[in-house]
Structure 1
């Protein structure tokens, strides 16, 4: 544990020095007029991303299951000065929905510059109870629909030299308690989209793939699920949403939010003998 603490301290010093001399390369003007399809936009991080994109002057199609809430998000986007905001309700547990949503967005916007994949199925955040069907549902929504959406949009993104932005989780890099099925779906995202990035580069197809690894975010559902089980400080959803947008716009391969997660993942690989001890310091192992 002492070695991990020393490494974290050193990483913090380096990060502070970089922050002092670093010039922000993000240009908000680059998003003016950008055509964006954003999933999971009815609440939480997705809702906040919709507001940010509209403030930056993007043309946005938002989608989620709940039509009434989507309509409210779209109305608020208009008050923020959205150039164009459209919505299409869709349930990503249905295999036919991804292609329908992409076709709608391409038709209404005339193409796509960004496909931002952010939706997730409801997660129980509990110990594995043997429910295989629940895992199948999570894989359909959290993984297979992402693959289907990306596949349907790839041609139009290639025409625009566009970007795929995939929202994942620390649970897709580090297996954690209470997240067996959720973690499996996020690990699958990491494997598929990292491999896809390499294949696109090999084929010289100019579509960037940004994988976003997020920690605990202060959305209502996340706070409710983790209460009494996780000892972590939740980061604000609006800031997480902005970090994702910046990462996609700058075409980075991986975006960690908060930034310290990158070092956590590196230390997880470098110090395997301390993994159980580290997890036990953040999770309530007495929780049922």
Structure 2
């Protein structure tokens, strides 16, 4: 048996063990009445998270760039059962916006239980073209604004013993082609928030940090970018959103969607050289 097939066999065993021992401890009632600040809430996974939080009776502050779309999402949230809903348009490429958004959320809700960081900057899905300025801008949106929002939220989250939920990607665990700048920002999130989790534990601060690792999701933007370039099935945004919510509510260290990404990450760490062919065979280089 070749080394690559041994790796796949081991991954299958790991996946089976994970399925055997995994238990769902999520209780929807724990969400009712909680105060949630949700970024990137106007479309895709963020919009679906807003609806899930609403069904479970949360209070929510929504933020994204487009005010008109936020208004529509807010109206739908109220229809679904949200206790209260507010929105604030904000562009996270501006360093001043995180503090303004946090002040608004705390003023409107009187505190905070969940900070859900989900927004991303628009970036091309292509081979590296040397655009350093775009990478610098993307780091501000995808990474530095996350750091600023979490920093501003920590004092109130310490009071409520709340949670930071960070939406990331498999591209922040395993480097993939066509996503150099995007992948860099997601790896940065893993490094910063994993380190911060240790520091909070050392200080006995009861604030959980959940890093959510997602595969390819069927959002309109993702499908448009990856069409013809990726040989993978896109998974439903509504299910991804629920997996994120569950991870935050159960104070999980990491949440993976789909679930088999977790053993995949372990196997990538154990047999790094043998996984290059897996990655390369999943992408269409000739159409790049």
CA–CA distance in 2 between the matches of 1:82 and 1:284?
Answer: 43
- 1:35-50 equivalences under 5 Å are 35-50=35-50
8 Å CA contact 2:15, 2:263 repeated in 1 = no
Q: Which runs of 5+ in 1 are unaligned?
A: none
Note the C-alpha offset of 1:136. 0.7
Residue 21 of structure 2 aligns with which residue? 18
CA–CA distance in 1 between the matches of 2:12 and 2:191?
Answer: 30
Q: Deviations over 1:205-241 (max 9, x none)?
A: 1100000010000000001111111111111100000
Note the C-alpha offset of 1:122. 0.4
Residue 83 of structure 1 aligns with which residue? 83
Secondary structure at the aligned position of 1:286 is classed as: helix
CA–CA distance in 1 between the matches of 2:92 and 2:20?
Answer: 43
CA–CA distance in 2 between the matches of 1:133 and 1:258?
Answer: 33
Residue 31 of structure 1 aligns with which residue? 31
Residue 157 of structure 1 aligns with which residue? 157
CA–CA distance in 2 between the matches of 1:165 and 1:276?
Answer: 30
Q: How many residues align?
A: 285
- 1:127-206 equivalences under 5 Å are 127-206=127-206
Task: Compute the TM-score of the two structures, normalised by the length of structure 1.
Answer: 0.97
Matched, 1:93 2:97: no
* Match of residue 9, structure 2, among 6, 11, 30: 6
Q: Return 4-13 or 120-129, whichever deviates more.
A: 4-13
Note the C-alpha offset of 1:200. 0.4
Where do 4+ consecutive residues of structure 1 move more than 4 Å? none
CA–CA distance in 1 between the matches of 2:273 and 2:150?
Answer: 38
8 Å CA contact 2:158, 2:206 repeated in 1 = yes
Task: Compute the TM-score of the two structures, normalised by the length of structure 2.
Answer: 0.97
Residue 255 of structure 1 aligns with which residue? 255
CA–CA distance in 2 between the matches of 1:47 and 1:88?
Answer: 14
CA–CA distance in 1 between the matches of 2:108 and 2:5?
Answer: 56
Q: Which runs of 5+ in 2 are unaligned?
A: none
Secondary structure at the aligned position of 2:149 is classed as: helix
Note the C-alpha offset of 1:272. 1.7
Note the C-alpha offset of 1:8. 2.4
CA–CA distance in 1 between the matches of 2:153 and 2:266?
Answer: 32
Q: CA separation of 1:203/1:16 partners in 2, compared to 1, >3 Å: closer, same or farther?
A: closer
Note the C-alpha offset of 1:285. 1.9
Residue 72 of structure 1 aligns with which residue? 72
CA–CA distance in 2 between the matches of 1:116 and 1:236?
Answer: 19
Residue 227 of structure 2 aligns with which residue? 227
